[in-house]
Structure 1
Amino acid sequence: MKLEVFIGTHEVGHLHYDDATHLYSFRYSPDWINTPGRSPLSPHLGFEQVQPSLLHSATVKAFFDNLLPEGRALDEAAAVCNVSKSSLLGLLAGMGMETAGALRIGIDLLTPQAEQNIMRQLPHEELSQRIRDRASIPFSVWDQRVRLSIAGYQDKIAVFDSDDGMWSLVDGPKLASTHIIKPEPMHEAMAGLTSNEFFCMKLAASVGLPVAEVSLHHVPEPVLAIRRFDRLRLKDEVRRLPVIDGCQLLNLPPAFKYERPYGDSRDVANIRDGSTFAGLFAALSAAKFPAAEKAALLRWAIFQIIIGNTDAHAKNLTFFTGERWLMLAPAYDLVSTVIYPKLEHSYAMAIGDAFNAENLDAAEWAEFCAATELAPAFVTKEIRALAERAKHSADKTAREVINAGADPAVVEAIVGQTLKESSRLLEMSKNISYMFKHR
């Protein structure tokens, strides 16, 4: 089995699976390697031609597995594609034309049919009906096929936002989605998530974090529209920009997006083989401007603590590759999980050894500094700056998003969390340098 991998109209290489050895491999096209300015897909899939092996196979599988959806969305995609959900190439053959980043994956991508650019409008009435029908019709399936392959558990659909404000479903090498649309989750335990994310994203922007542009719509059900930062809208096409997520940066499979990939029960809580801040900061040493990227990642980490986002895992981080090698992309999926009492509230990645807010103190921030090789004075300065900005901006941002249609109760709960945690961070920041010296 072999799939073609393209960026735009350029063939990058081929993804192979050998059913005799059960090994995966990826081979770059000679034209891709030999054209000046072209980059490998990730730091772990370099241009050197390696022989099929268990190590290469694991690296290839981890990279492409991270392009797939997760949970129920993966189950539904497998059913529609009529393949096992463990069939990586089978899934990508059916849904790899619209992935995160620049890649288009499939079979015979240079045929006249595959090169057609197709657009069909998605009226709000149809979207509203499909939101109501999610219990019986998978939300990722439109026109009898899976429309996108993007990681995550939430229901979402990728659309093209035209100049007249209409949303459309699109296909083709020169057409691509420009926005991700998320409705409210079906599970009542996460009610108000669209308002939650809308507020957290707007608050992040107000304190100076680069974030994806978001807007809240009612069709009449609330939906959050997120402008894709991995798309560049040009006059006659949409260019796809190459990116990788945190797991791809660390060469880890999607199940290892959490630091404790086996959970936090007594017998496995000490196994921390998944994604870590130490690993992410170390990987950014290969960036073109490592100091700037590490500063951006630090601010991202601090902001998760402020809003109470305990699900801030490695797949919620994206990095531009290509010409902007390992540049942190704008933030997305910013939500306050602690306002939902039925959710797990352990940090996806620890600060020091603290996996929850109760155990986070100056000593754990000092351990974080040691693990990430960041200067305690610098970490202290960034904590104070973000906490002060968040306290100053929370109420104003709340009024703005409520006026834009956000749920007041949800927003007020996050404001309370933000003010409380900002004050707590300001207090503990006074002792980080001292604890670092005496650890």
Structure 2
Amino acid sequence: MFLGENGVLQPATGLPFTHILKPAGTSGFESLPLVEWIGLALARGSGLEVPDNALVAMPDGLPPALLVERFDIRTGPQDTLMLAMEDMCSVLDLEPKDKYTGTIERVARAIRPLSTAPEDDLRLLLQRALFAWLIADGEMHLKNMAILKIAYPGEQAFRSVRVAPVYDTLTTRVFPRLEHDRMALKLNGKDERLRRSDFVAVATLAGLRAGDANEAIDQLLQALKGAIEGLVFPAQCLYGPHAEAAVAKVFELCRGRVESFD
């Protein structure tokens, strides 16, 4: 989609592709945009970088859709930066169909030599994986993680290569047939019943100190608690009983995992 300066949203046909519009699904997935909006809001509240986004009304009485601004393009005609986003399937030289293969450890090993700030990015990966576990996000696969490369005019190499902002994050367990959804990628050999020791083990294997790993974990836990309790969204977004039930389940799952994490 293209969002003009006048606030009009229209298909990006012959216009810059600035935003992604994600409409609601059917058969129990009517509240998908709302649940993803909550996931992005909780990620931002937890201190993670996320793209700008909003819930937007749809015609004909349809549920709200999620509008997400692209972060891998220039900000305007005067912006001369060169940007390239590469998802982790590509980084690991895997086919898209293999997006559920691999482990968080393998992702960490790939990030360390590529990143221009490896310690910061490994800490970020730790927090991103922990966040996915705490909100019961079973879709943090290799296509939903990426690195963002930035080059400046006249330069022959990327000056910045960093883990990209969080995108496509949501509580998958609230949807039909996903009630027992697990982590998309294994961590310390596990995709369920994860504990603090599992995250610390992976972090130290990636080269972080245990003390720094625990600090990053505590920081995200505390921030996520505040984000859960402080989240406010327009009541009109609760489109019907499906949405109300989904939102209640999201908060039940998130609070339960945060409170029981040890």
CA offset digits 1:177-201 (Å, max 9, x no partner):
1100000123x24331111001111
> What are the within-5 Å matches in structure 2 for residues 155-234 of structure 1?
159-171=1-13, 175-186=15-26, 188-220=27-59, 221=62, 222-234=64-76
Superposed counterparts of 1:48-197, under 5 Å: 159-171=1-13, 175-186=15-26, 188-197=27-36
Runs of 4+ in 1 over 4 A off after TM superposition: 235-240
**3-state DSSP of counterpart to 1:244:** strand
Tell me whether 1:330 sits opposite 2:158 in the alignment.
Answer: no
| 1:381 Cα deviation after fit | 1.7
Instruction: Return the letter of the residue paired with 2:222.
Output: E
Taking CA–CA contacts closer than 8 Å with sequence separation of 6 or more, which of the two structures ends up with the larger relative contact order?
Answer: 2
Name the residue aligned to 1:385.
Answer: 219
Tell me how far apart the structure 2 counterparts of residues 291 and 330 of structure 1 sit (CA, whole Å): 16
Q: Distance in 2 between matches of 1:322 and 1:394?
A: 33
The TM-score with structure 1 as length reference comes to: 0.52
Note the aligned Cα RMSD (angstroms).
Answer: 2.3
- Amino acid of the residue matched to residue 226 of structure 2? H
Q: In structure 1, how many angstroms separate the alpha carbons of the residues matched to 2:171 and 2:10?
A: 30
Picking from 101, 110, 119, the partner of 1:283 is 110
- Cα distance in 1, alignment partners of residues 208 and 75 from structure 2: 37
How many Å apart are 1:214 and its aligned residue? Answer: 1.0
Instruction: Tell me which amino acid in the other structure corresponds to 2:92.
Output: L
1:251 Cα deviation from its structure 2 partner: 1.2
What residue is the counterpart of 2:185 in the other structure? Answer: 349
Shift of 1:411: 2.1
Change (3 A) 1:396 1:421: same
Aligned partners of 1:339 and 1:413 also within 8 Å: yes
User: Counterparts of 2:225 and 2:97 in 1: how far apart (Å)?
Assistant: 35
Is the Cα–Cα contact under 8 Å of residues 319 and 328 in structure 1 kept in the other structure?
A: yes
Higher strand share: 1
Identity in percent = 24
> Structure 1's 162 and 361: CA in aligned 2 closer, same or farther, altered over 3 A?
same
Q: Look up the match of 1:395.
A: 229
Task: Say whether the 8 Å CA contact 1:176–1:240 is kept in structure 2.
Answer: no
Q: TM-score, normalised by structure 2?
A: 0.85
Which digits, 9 at most, give the CA deviation of each residue in 1:140-181, with x for residues without a partner? xxxxxxxxxxxxxxxxxxx11001111223356xx5211000
Matched-pair contact (CA < 8 Å) for 2:116–2:160:
yes
Name the CA distance, whole Å, in 1 between partners of 2:98 and 2:207.
23
Structure exhibiting the larger radius of gyration computed from Cα positions: 1
Q: Give the letter for the 2:44 counterpart.
A: A
Paired residue secondary structure (1:347):
coil
Partners of 1:369 and 1:320 lie apart in 2 by 22
Partner of 1:405: 237
Report if the CA contact (8 A) 1:198-1:401 is conserved.
Answer: no
Return 5+ residue gaps in structure 2 as ranges: 152-158
Shifted more, 236-245 versus 217-226: the winner is 236-245
Report deviation, 1:367: 3.8
Residue of 246, 255, 261 corresponding to 1:419: 255
Paired residues in the alignment total: 246
Change (3 A) 1:388 1:218: same
Which secondary structure state, in structure 1, belongs to the residue aligned with residue 74 of structure 2?
strand
Whether 2:114 is the aligned partner of 1:318: answer no
